[in-house]
């Protein structure tokens, strides 16, 4: 049996703040690179960077491949903005 649901209006995020495009997509905005790590596998090493993103309900950090981040945000790597 279905019950009536009362929504919480404080959890609604205005779309003007996010900037949704006509295709109903948005671009994540990178705030800062927090950390760097290199994982050693049997035959290769994989470099990752810890990234702080905006446009989430709460700022969120994720580990991303360093090569992908260098392609998308080369200006962050030119100035040596990565902590060792």
pLDDT in tens, 36-82: 999 999 999 999 999 888 876 667 888 999 999 999 888 888 765 55
d(CA 35, CA 37): 7
Residue with the bigger pLDDT between 42 and 30: it is: 42
Q: What is the pLDDT of residue 44?
A: 93
CATH fold for domain 29-84: OB fold (Dihydrolipoamide Acetyltransferase, E2P) (2.40.50)
Closest CA to 50 of 62, 40, 60, 42: 62
Overall average pLDDT of the 30-39 stretch:
90
Global pTM value: 0.58
Residue predicted with more confidence, 15 or 8: 8
């Amino acid at each position: 049996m279905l019950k009536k649901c009362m929504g919480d209006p404080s959890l609604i995020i205005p779309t003007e703040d996010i900037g949704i495009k006509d295709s109903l997509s948005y671009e994540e905005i990178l705030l800062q690179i927090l950390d760097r790590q290199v994982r050693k596998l049997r035959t290769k090493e994989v470099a990752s960077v810890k990234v702080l993103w905006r446009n989430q309900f709460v700022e969120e950090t994720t580990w991303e491949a360093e090569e992908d981040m260098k392609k998308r945000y080369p200006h962050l790597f030119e100035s040596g903005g990565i902590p060792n």
